[in-house]
Structure 1
Amino acid sequence: MKKASRVLLIFFLLLIVLLAFQYPKLDIISGYAAKNMSSSVFLAKRTAVSVAQNDNNVPLISVAEVVVDPMAKNATATVFGLKERRAVYREGLGSVLLNGDSELPKDLKRPNRNILKDSLPFPYGNNGTKDSIFPEVDYQKLDRALHMAFSSPEIQKTRTVLVAYKDHIVAEKYIRGFDPETPILGWSMTKSILATLYGIMEYQGKIELEDNAPVAEWENDSRAEISYDHLLRMQSGLEWEEDYSTISDATRMFFFEDDMSSVQRGKETIASPTQVWNYSSGTSNLLSGILRDQFDTYQEYLDFPYRELIDKTGMYSMLIETDLNGTYVGSSYGWANTRDWAKFGLLYLHRGMWNGERIFAPEWVDYVSRPTAFSNGVYGAHFWLNSRGKYPDVPRDLYSANGYQGQYVFIIPSRQVVVVRTGLAGGEKFDVNAFLKGILAAFPKDP
């Protein structure tokens, strides 16, 4: 009996030590759990049980207890009854995490959407897919490649895969609970959406990439030399810590700030522009805030991504969530179903032309896919690259939108192929090189 008591005492002491060590992170844990649950349930229309068992079932986040209120459209999370955080869903704007005494604005403006009914198949419409067979495509190899992508569900955690070739879907697969209509969080794939908005602004003659970024706080110091180009290439020289394992610049921004665009704005420089490359979600949200300042009214800013890109290309499932200040979280919070993510890739494959209408200049594609100095050839302008063979068995002209947990839109111009993969695991758990090698083996090298 005494031995059991000692074991129990040791257990509680260890628990106290663990809680003391992790206590500062509890706000992040409950905040992540609440926000992810709210968006997944009310935006993606998934069940709370599925989200809890899968999306939130990761180290530390899994200890949070989340309660969903369907009537109020919110989710509230706590960790052992501590650090309560609430995320609220807003129609047209997605979910937002409340901070302390923060409240939603009483007059919530929403983006105007132009969702048209049409009779066209994918990609220029949403009325099914084209039923075509390409004699040069080895469909058996494609089937094997997709099978391999889903073959270890507990490790790879692949959810959806789509392969498009010459504007046709030639392969598509979903796990149970997901289908062509299910919106999926792209995480940092949203950065590539944000960059595209700047490409559109440039094409419309509203900005020049070499111009200094119009940030009032920088006008009287060395930061005045930072240009749009420096920000899009993550070469501003501004200090930033992109670390999600601790309380860092990134986690403070996502879980404690009403205005996410302000965090990078207030940072000092650690180097001159172009002297370092430093991946920064704060920079992307700063760019979203700068974009907001380009418009005379807030409604114009809200409408711009949908009017000029998203709805114009029929990506009707896509939604970019805003922060509490009403600014798009351009670093991370873009949602779309797998087919609409593929349309985004095809827009780039077509170098900005969409069904006869030009969205951005063809030179924009060259710009975003040109390697940025000091990135070791893996980064362009808010897109990832294969210019130095990070994926050795894949063409060097591949460039992609990448997101946390293995969200990808791969664009491979030399093969006229776009590949979308979504899931809950990336890095070592999902072998991108092997995945793409298997898919590309089904296509001719000179289509």
Structure 2
Amino acid sequence: MYFHGTSKINAQGHLEIGGCDVADLAKQFGTPLYIVDEALVRQRAREYVESFRASGLKFQVAYASKAFSVMAMCAIAEQEDLSLDVVSDGELYTALQAGFPAQRIHFHGNNKTPDEINMALDANIGCFVVDNFNELYLLNALAGDKGKKVQVLLRITPGVEAHTHEYISTGQTDSKFGFDLGNGTAYLAIQEAAAQSNIELLGVHSHIGSQIFEVEGFAMAVDKVAGFAVKVREELNITFRVINLGGGIGIRYVEGDTPLPIAQYVKAITDSIINNFTNADYPLPEIWVEPGRSMVGDAGTTLYTVGTSKDIPGVRKYIAVDGGMTDNPRPALYESKYEAVLANRANESVEETVSVAGKCCESGDMLIWDLELPKAKTGDLLAVFCTGAYNYAMASNYNRIRRPAVVFVKDGAADVAVKRESLDDIVGNDVIPARLKQTSAAK
């Protein structure tokens, strides 16, 4: 079994994270429980910052909060000198309530509402990443109403799409995001942005995919963006001060996943930037990136309690846990794979192969297929690794199941970052209309 960060098996044969025995965490906080290895989050942040610093380029590392947006994570991002990428009023509000510096916030999204834009303008955030012409004109008008001039990046689709172990150079025109580089829309957007009186164009943003294990796709994207920058400067006399290359760096979920060290990705990006822009006699731009999954993914572990089991002879054995697709929808959505251990019996030998089911009334509520474990018993603790990204963020109350608590662990201390929802929280926003109350009374 591969352990991440501070995870290890202690003398009691229990899984330990951040110096905390997870059996003790289960007793104190209950299950399901999201456990975040704070030291590993900080380590990842520092790997990014130190790698970019070594390049000599100006840079910003913006944590993509969509991966895991809670106030405690925003506080860590600030302490580690990160910027922050938000995509909604909720993520923006979370950051502001955490006291995150507004000037280091970048606002993404393909359909920002007027209310969201006004909220961001009033907060004086650092940059809007503009996704389409409608937004460009709306932002210009709303900024003008407030007597402000706002800094903007234009999101472009560079014609490079990269995913795990593969990358392709195609049109990628069929995307809901951004201005297309291949059909001339991006060029027109530059012209339009430059013409808006309340817009200050910093440069462009591109994002080529997710869970990427290679560097070639990033280098290819830099080539295309640099070529576009040169064309814009020669023909429009506009020089990009900022190039944002998005995120997408992969993590190890299961055996066979082979991400490179963060420093290797960063070096590939910065070397390509320096080579392309130096060769074009172009001022070296400031480089922004937006890691999310690679910052928090392998720092998260979800702890469950084993409940019932079902053995179908000659077919499979199921064990059920007290969570499921409500706290981790990724297996149902993407067929995502995970590794897990019996956290209270982590030293014991494998005895059987089981499939881990959730408790929702859905046959598709499966967390892991064909997991090798010691013989699991009711009350055992199952720890599922690498659940720090897009698990809490995508959690739901399907079947009116309460969302778990989140604890941050470090140096033997465990602190609640998100309280466990209560039954009162579940019905907290429900309202029975008066006419329905009257009907019930009549009966």
| TM-score (ref. length: structure 1) | 0.22
Greater share of residues in strand: 2
| TM-score (ref. length: structure 2) | 0.22
Larger Cα-atom Rg: 2
